Chain A
Amino acid sequence: MSKTFNRLLRSTTTACKYEAYVCTVVEHLRPYKANPFDEIAVEEAVRLREKLKDEVKSIKVVTIGPTKAAETLRTALAMGADSGIHVEIPDSAPPPEPLGVAKTLRALIEKQKEGVDLVILGKQAIDDDAGQTGQMLAGLLNWPQATFASKVVVDTAKKEVTITREIDGGLQELRCRLPLIITTDLRLNEPRYASLPNIMKAKKKPIEKIKPSDLGIDLTPRIETIKVAEPPQRVGGGKVENVDELIAKLKEAGITPVKS
């Protein structure tokens, strides 16, 4: 899950200039590699800054995981995020469930002195395939949510974001007020590769380490996992030589053309 907090602050000097803070949370996957939807989220945050320049004050990335999860944060920092927060859990701890992650993020967001305007997460992690964290975070914060985003246009003057979402059967366009939770779909962007100089630079960027208990969060899953098993394996039924044999096989299975 990748979450980007992006904050637009009314500056104290002029009434119409904004400063923005973006923060992105990255979910690691075993073996440690960022979840692809999270890379898209980080990319979107970085592009947002490229477009809005100084209006994006900062991009923060967050991950919740064991020691090794810090590598995922470094990847995000090398892509262009400014700083990281690593909520560290023991290697032996079960993976936290989306509600626990959402509560942790809410606690972190509430701690940010400058506040947060935009959180970008992946639409799902490709290990648990739950697809819940962003929606849960939006519910906990009572913020608007735009899930499965394939296009994001931020209007800092109006503090509004226009989102195109991928929905069953087509596309939907929404206009949401900031602060906002966005979850990314595949078609939002093409994440960049971090260049070697940027990887070197990322080593110097700060990562704040924190424990769930520091935030008053208990990450024990409430849904019990009883077992994980292999699915029934399909066995390919061999090949046919030509179209006639293919049609014969279809017939055998009772599949005939539709008479129109």
Chain B
Amino acid sequence: MLRTRPLVCLRPLFRTYATAANPHALVLLEHRDGAIDSASLSALSAAQKLGGEITGLIVGSSDEGLTALLHSSSPQYATPLPELVSPLLEKILSEGTPFTHVVSAHSSSAKSILPRVAARLDVPAVSDITSVEHDTSSNSTTFTRPIYAGNAIATVRAPSSVHLKFFTVRSTAFKAAPAGSSEVEAKAIDPVQVADPPTEHIKTELTKSDRPELGAASRVVSGGRALKNAETFNSTLEPLADILGAAIGASRAAVDAGYADNSLQVGQTGKVVAPELYMALGISGAIQHLAGMKDSKLIVAINKDPDAPIFQVADVGLVADLYEVVPELVKKLNSQ
């Protein structure tokens, strides 16, 4: 049962010259427990910047209650495995397709699916874009994307010779599309059954948490190696995250040492976050970590080492033992 917020869609662009076709993007909308992921709503915002039509695609095992978009349901889509979803996308995007762009969030699931489909259609793909601009007259799309752990920003262009332009979107660079109210046509597509699939899904274990989702949280409290062990990590960070209504993140060092779950890693190869507030506790601030949080609005760092690189990006730095100041901070915030 999928509740879709009505999605903004199909805003044709009237141009004075009607030579080149308007872009028409297919956006892969990911969902969990009946709600569309906020990262997919950011991908939708990015697709709106192309200035043409937009069609969403929802693939799942149950699609009652859909109010929009292309949807395809099959027991094979219960867990969207690339080997099983790819043939459906290939069918939608094959010869004579109206689509010019294929868009998704830069999520672990879409990162696995999109390049596979792109290769099968013999087109390159652009990952983790932070801006997009389409030029209808030349039918080329220009993107920016961070490379070298965010230490450089590449501007790249998919020319008209790339007939289908695949890209994944860094969700922190685009606001999630607001719930619109326009009616859109929903169209069911027959699933493409894969006979004798080579991959079988055994199980998915999601870390249970009442906290906001790390990628979409407006506040993040993050811990590093200085937290000693899993117990200390949780007992130190949780009260602060509770009082701030924040998600909990971790540096790679903390994850590797087993203090925090893998899915909490912030950085170049973990999650990229850009919350209103990012608090780095006992994190030195390696380049790879900064890559995942340096677009946060306010960065607060608490670290014993006054020379820790994190202080070079922190708006507010406190050189102190976090075991002394974090409890004090929690107490004082509580008494406000």
- Residues of A whose CB lies within 8 Å of any CB of B are 37, 97-99, 102, 123-124, 126-133, 135-140, 142-148, 150, 162, 165-177, 180, 185-187, 221-231, 234, 236-247, 249-250, 253, 255-258, 260
Contact = CB atoms under 8 A, between A and B. Distances in A.
Interface string B214-237: 010001000000000000000000
A168 to B, nearest CB: 5
Given A222-B162, A226-B155, A231-B150, A246 B300 contact: yes
Given A126-B149, A138-B116, A148-B108, A247 B333 contact: yes
Contacts of B81: 174
Nearest to B81: A174
A21 to B, nearest CB: 19
B329 A247 contact: yes
A98 B124 contact: yes
Nearest to A128: B147
B199 A175 contact: yes
Greatest chain B CB density within 10 A among A98, A130, A143, A187 is at: A130
Given A137-B119, A236-B313, 5 more contacts: A162-B202, A224-B156, A236-B312, A242-B320, A243-B318
A37 B126 CA distance: 20
B198 interface: yes
Contacts of A165: 108
7 contacts: A136-B116, A145-B82, A145-B112, A172-B205, A187-B262, A230-B152, A236-B313
Nearest to A239: B317
Contacts of B150: 231
Interface string B135-152: 000000010011111111
B328 A243 contact: yes
A236 B315 contact: yes
B142 to A, nearest CB: 7
B198 to A, nearest CB: 4
B204 A172 contact: yes
Contacts of A150: 262
Q: Which among A145, A187, A225, A253 has the greatest number of chain B C-beta atoms within 10 A?
A: A145
Interface stretch (B17-25, B68-76, B241-249): B241-249
A92 to B, nearest CB: 19
Given A126-B149, A128-B147, A173-B202, A223 B158 contact: yes
Interface of B: 79, 81-83, 86, 107-109, 111-120, 122-128, 142, 145-159, 161-162, 198-207, 213, 215, 219, 242-245, 252, 255-256, 261-263, 268-269, 271, 276-277, 288, 294, 297-300, 306, 311-320, 325, 328-329, 332-334, 336
A147 B297 CA distance: 32
B185 to A, nearest CB: 30
Contacts of A186: 252, 256, 269
B323 to A, nearest CB: 13
A37 B255 CA distance: 17
Nearest to A172: B204
Contact of A169 (B145, B207, B276): B207
A166 B147 contact: no
B119 A255 contact: no
Contacts of B115: 98, 131-133, 135-136, 139
5 pairs of A and B residues whose beta carbons are closest in the complex: A136-B119, A258-B245, A139-B119, A132-B115, A135-B115
Contact of A255 (B145, B277, B329): B277
A186 B111 CA distance: 17
Contact of B151 (A166, A231, A255): A231
A171 B298 CA distance: 31
Contacts of A135: 82, 111-116, 119
Contacts of A230: 151-153
A167 to B, nearest CB: 4
A150 to B, nearest CB: 7
A104 to B, nearest CB: 12
Contacts of B215: 168
A230 B146 CA distance: 10
A166 B86 contact: no
Contact of A246 (B262, B299, B329): B329
B125 A132 contact: yes
B207 A170 contact: yes
Contacts of B245: 258
Given A146-B199, A171-B204, A186-B256, A236 B317 contact: yes
Contacts of A128: 147
Contacts of B79: 172
Nearest to B252: A186
Contacts of B263: 166-171
Nearest to A183: B112
B156 A223 contact: yes
Contact of A222 (B124, B200, B269): B124
A247 B152 contact: no
